[in-house]
A = this chain, B = another copy of it.
Amino acid sequence: MTMENGEIPENANEHCPGTQSESAGKSDACEGCPNQEACATAPKGPDPDLVVIAERMATVKHKILVLSGKGGVGKSTFSAQLSFALAAMDFQVGLLDVDICGPSIPKMLGLEGQEIHQSNLGWSPVYVDSNLGVMSIGFMLPDPDEAVIWRGPRKNGLIKNFLKEVYWNELDFLVVDSPPGTSDEHISIVQCLGATGIDGAIIVTTPQQVSLIDVRKEINFCKKVGVKVLGVVENMSGLSQPVMDFKFMRTTETGEHIDVSEWVREYFREKAPELQDLIACSEVFDSSSGGAEKMCREMGVPFLGKVPLDPQLCKAAEEGRSCFIDQKCGVSAPALKIIIEKLIENNGFARMLLNSA
């Protein structure tokens, strides 16, 4: 199971060398394949699109991929908050969403319902601020509920178009938010951006074993395709919330649950005031195996830190806000801040800021 050499058509013979391979249409395995002639005669060699992409990327200093093995680990939330944070540091930031079938980025940046405009320079990103531009298929769907029922080649075509057509102008960072897995979108983005230099990938996970299994695959994907792992972020690392923000239920003798929150809060205020300022934490996902930190040590990649499952951060994501602006995300924002600072320091991005200032 290795990286494929270009496309393999569905009706191809077994052991197809790939349509872009030098032996396409010419290997023993090609005998009798319906694609044999097309493969043997199709132009090979460097993809002319890569030249166009390289020109577009010439004004982009750093390219960071945000990956995850499993879905729903908070990858898009992280990408969004990373972009907000970098923009707040006065970097010029572009955020590209290559999740074609389930784009969450428009909502998470507060840009739902926006559309892409075209100029003679190319497709214009949608701007949150003058230094934070965003591109997503979400801006191209006439109806947000419509399913994008596309197989790989069409998804790859759009990703290529994003890279070829979008006019980002000068960027310090292009953050690429990807869908989970190691398939079409990931292969395409690496193939298209590889030659222009990808700084590396940030891999987001949750603490459970099932997530970590997939993260190991993702790290191995990076190793195989030659993308540096900038670090792993453990998200949803337990729930932390002020005690007074919980609802409290009592189980009756008949097994019903009744809401006694008012009574409990009153009880805290009157009889146990020393408890009301506490933060209650739950592990939520079992991390008894040592979580992402241990895995990072084993696999020799940097661990960037843990972000707790914070209902306020979830709310910020739902509302398309930065979690850094007000004091509401009191549990998760400091954790995210430390992670982003570490990322910048580890990779010398701060020096870049000083140099360019």
Q: Tell whether A193 is near chain B: CB-to-CB under 8 Å.
A: no
- Given that A224-B147, A286-B315 are known contacts, is A248 also in contact with B278, CB under 8 Å in the complex? yes
Q: Tell whether A22 is near chain B: CB-to-CB under 8 Å.
A: no
Among candidates B104, B141, B182, B309, residue contacting A214 with C-beta atoms closer than 8 Å: B104
Q: Tell whether A117 is near chain B: CB-to-CB under 8 Å.
A: no
Q: What B residues does A216 contact at CB under 8 A?
A: 144-145
B72 and A107 form a contact (CB under 8 A)? no
Among candidates B38, B71, B184, B279, residue contacting A249 with C-beta atoms closer than 8 Å: B279
Measured CB to CB, the closest approach of chain B to A199, in angstroms, equals 20
Q: Which residue on B lies nearest to A155, using beta carbons?
A: B183
A318 and B249 form a contact (CB under 8 A)? no
B264 and A278 form a contact (CB under 8 A)? yes
Q: Tell whether A17 is near chain B: CB-to-CB under 8 Å.
A: no
Contacting B at CB under 8 A, from A302-347, are 309, 311, 314-315, 317-318
- Given that A10-B7, A71-B180, A248-B279 are known contacts, is A220 also in contact with B147, CB under 8 Å in the complex? yes
Measured CB to CB, the closest approach of chain B to A75, in angstroms, equals 9
B104 and A210 form a contact (CB under 8 A)? yes
Residues of A within 8 A of B (CB): 1-4, 6-12, 19, 34-38, 41-43, 69-73, 76, 100-102, 104, 107-108, 141, 144-157, 179-184, 186-187, 206, 208-210, 213-214, 216-218, 220-221, 224-225, 239-241, 243, 245-251, 257, 260, 264, 267, 271-272, 274-275, 277-286, 309, 311, 314-315, 317-318
Interface pairs (9), CB distance under 8 Å: A1-B141, A1-B148, A69-B102, A102-B181, A147-B221, A149-B186, A149-B187, A180-B180, A286-B315
Measured CB to CB, the closest approach of chain B to A152, in angstroms, equals 3
Among candidates B2, B107, B157, B284, residue contacting A239 with C-beta atoms closer than 8 Å: B284
B286 and A101 form a contact (CB under 8 A)? no
Measured CB to CB, the closest approach of chain B to A255, in angstroms, equals 8
Among candidates B145, B271, B318, residue contacting A217 with C-beta atoms closer than 8 Å: B145
Q: What B residues does A37 contact at CB under 8 A?
A: 37-38
Give Cα A72 to B76, complex, Å. 12
Give Cα A73 to B236, complex, Å. 13
